[in-house]
Amino acid sequence: MILSIESSCDDSAIAITEIATNRLLFHKKISQELDHSVYGGVVPELAARLHAEALPRILEQVKPYFKDIKAVAVTATPGLAVTLVEGVTMAKAIAVALQIPIIGVNHLVGHIYSLFIEKETSFPMTVLLVSGGHTQVMEVKSLSEIKTVAKSMDDSFGESFDKVAKMMGFGYPGGPLIQELAKEGDRLKYNFTVPLHQSPLIAFSYSGLKNAVRLAVLDANGDETRYKDIAASFEHIATKHLTMKLKKYFKSVKPQNFAIVGGASANLYLRSQIEELLKPYKAKLYLSELKYCSDNAAMIGRVGVDMYKAKIFSSLESLDISPKSNI
C-alpha cells in the first residue's frame, strides 16, 4: 500500500492506495475553504497552521494500515512553500519511522492521475488542467513523458473566478459561486473581449478579462440582476477563450483522447462547451469524478503507485519542496 499526503494549498488530505489493484482503501480530506473565505483567497500562513493541525488528526486514522505501507508519496511541487513543507515534513517522518522509501509527487501529475483513481491509465492523452494555480494543456504519453504545449501568461482560469467573486463581495472559492450566479444571467449581455483572440499564440491570459469585469462590477454598483449577467458573460468569455485556443491547437494535433482536470474542471458550462468542441474530431472526453476534481490525496496516491512500480524514489536528504513546477 501507498500512503499519500497532499498539502499544496488549502486542502489537508491523506489516502491509502493498494499497489496491486489501484484500490483506494482510505481517503480523507479536510478543506480550509471556510477559514479562507472571509479573506477572499488563501492566506498561506493560516493555511500552513491549519495543515499542521489537520494532517496529524487524519494520520491517526490510518495507523492500522502502517504495517502494510510500502512507500509514502507526498506532493512536493508546485504549491505554496509554507504548506508544501507541512506535508513533506510529515512524509519524511513517516518514511524514517516505518523505514520505507519516499516518493515526491508533482501536483500537476496528480491532477492528471485524478482520471485514473481505482483505474488503469489510458495514454496517450491531451489534458487541459484548469485549477486555481494553473491553466495549461499537456500532451501526456506516460508518467514521465509530459509536454506542456500551452499555458497561462498570467492568472489561471479558476483564479479569475475567485477574483470576480471577490470583486462582487462573495467568499472563496469563487468558481462554484460564480457558476451558480451565471445560471440566472444572460451570457450575451456584456460583450467582454475574448483574451488574445487576435493573437496566433496558443496561450492563455485572464488579467485583461478580469479588469474588464472589474469595471462592469463597479458600474453595476451591487445590482443583483446585473451581477448575474456579468457572471454569465464572464463565464462565457472565460470559457470561449479556452475553446478558441483549443480549436487552434486541434488544427495541427487531433487527439483521440482528451481530458479536463483540476478544480475548475467541475464547471458545467466549460464541460458542455468542450464536449461540443470535441464532437467533429470524434475524440473521447475523459473527466475525473467530481469529488476528485479539486485537490485530494487519492490522486497523489495513484501517481505514487505508478512511481513505486517504476522505482522512482527520492532520497530523504534530496527531497525538497519547490513552489514552481518544472512541467
Chain residues binding Zn ion by CB under 5 A are 131, 295
226 close to 233: Cβ distance less than 8 angstroms: no
Report the candidate in 50, 48, 59, 49 with the shortest Cα–Cα distance to residue 14.
Answer: 59
Helix, strand and coil percent figures for the chain, each rounded to 5? 45, 20, 35
- Of 87, 104, 175, 185, the one binding ligand KG4 (CB under 6 A) is 175
Q: What are 176's three cell numbers?
A: 462554484
Q: Which of 6, 86, 155, 159 binds ligand KG4 (CB under 6 A)?
A: 159
Pick from 80, 294, 297, 327: which binds ligand KG4 (CB under 6 A)? 294
Cα 64 to chain centroid, rounded: 30
300 in Cβ contact with 110 (< 8 Å)? yes
173 scored as a contact of ligand KG4 (CB under 6 A): yes
Q: Does 116 bind ligand KG4 (CB under 6 A)?
A: no
Does residue number 155 form part of the binding site for ligand KG4 (CB under 6 A)?
no
What's the CA gap between 103 and 120, in Å, rounded? 20
DSSP line for 213-240: HHHHHHHHTT-HHHHHHHHHHHHHHHHH
Q: Binding to ligand KG4 by residue 263, rule CB under 6 A? A: yes
Of 71 and 130, nearer to ligand KG4 (C-beta) is 130
Question: Whose Cβ is closer to Zn ion: residue 12's or residue 131's?
Answer: 131
Stretch of 159-167, 222-230, 243-251, 312-320 contacting ligand KG4, by CB under 6 A: 159-167
- Residues counted in the chain: 327
Interaction between residue 158 and ligand KG4 (CB under 6 A)? yes
Give the cell for residue 327: 512541467
Taking the least distance from each CB to Zn ion, the nearer of 277 and 327 is: 327
Q: What distance lies between CA 274 and its chain's CA centroid?
A: 17
Of the candidates 18, 35, 98, 176, which one interacts with ligand KG4 according to CB under 6 A?
Answer: 176
113 binds ligand KG4 per the rule CB under 6 A: no
Find the helix or strand (DSSP H, E) in which 287 lies: strand 284-287
- Give the nearer residue to ligand KG4 in terms of CB position, either 100 or 285: 285
4 binds, among Zn ion, ligand KG4, none (CB under 5 to 8 A by kind): none
- Which of Zn ion, ligand KG4, none does residue 266 bind (CB under 5 to 8 Å by kind)? ligand KG4
Which run of H or of E encompasses 215? helix 207-220
User: Which of 94, 277 has the CB closer to ligand KG4?
Assistant: 277
Q: Which residues contact 286 (CB under 8 A, 6 or more apart)?
A: 115, 122, 125, 257, 258, 259, 260
Contact status: 174 vs ligand KG4 (CB under 6 A): yes
Window 177 to 206, contacts with ligand KG4 (CB under 6 A): 179
Question: Which secondary structure element, helix H or strand E, spans residue 25, and what is its range?
Answer: strand 24-31
As a whole number of angstroms, the distance between CA 167 and CA 215 comes to: 10
Is the Cβ of residue 87 or residue 133 nearer to ligand KG4 in the bound state? 133
Helices (H) and strands (E) in the chain, counts: 10, 10
The one of Zn ion, ligand KG4, none whose footprint includes residue 173, by CB under 5 to 8 A per kind, is ligand KG4
Q: Which residues bind ligand KG4 (CB under 6 A)?
A: 9, 131-133, 158-159, 161-162, 173-176, 179, 262-264, 266-267, 294-295
